[in-house]
Amino acid sequence: HPVSPLFPQRAQFGSCSLRRMSVMEALQLLDQLVDESDPDVDFPNSFHAFQTAEGIRRAHPDKDWFHLVGLLHDLGKVLALFGEPQ
């Protein structure tokens, strides 16, 4: 794929060769990050992901795809652990 000026990280991260991990591993890795948008939060970032997914499940029990989106919505933040800015 050509490198798009809209997505310059595609060349660096698009091949997924930096590190392979499961979603659960990525969620655990996310716990090592201090989120600049919420630096005073006293619970792990993975808790936020599960809390979001559960809130969506309660509000929209028939939309399983939405539950998954709630769980995954912050996973891109793990790139900050590899030198990307938040």
Binding residue ranges for Fe cation: 48, 73-74
Cα separation, 1 vs 69, in Å, equals 26
Annotated binding site: 48, 73-74
End-to-end CA gap in the chain: 25
Question: Distance of CA 56 to CAs 1, 62, 67, Å?
Answer: 35, 10, 6
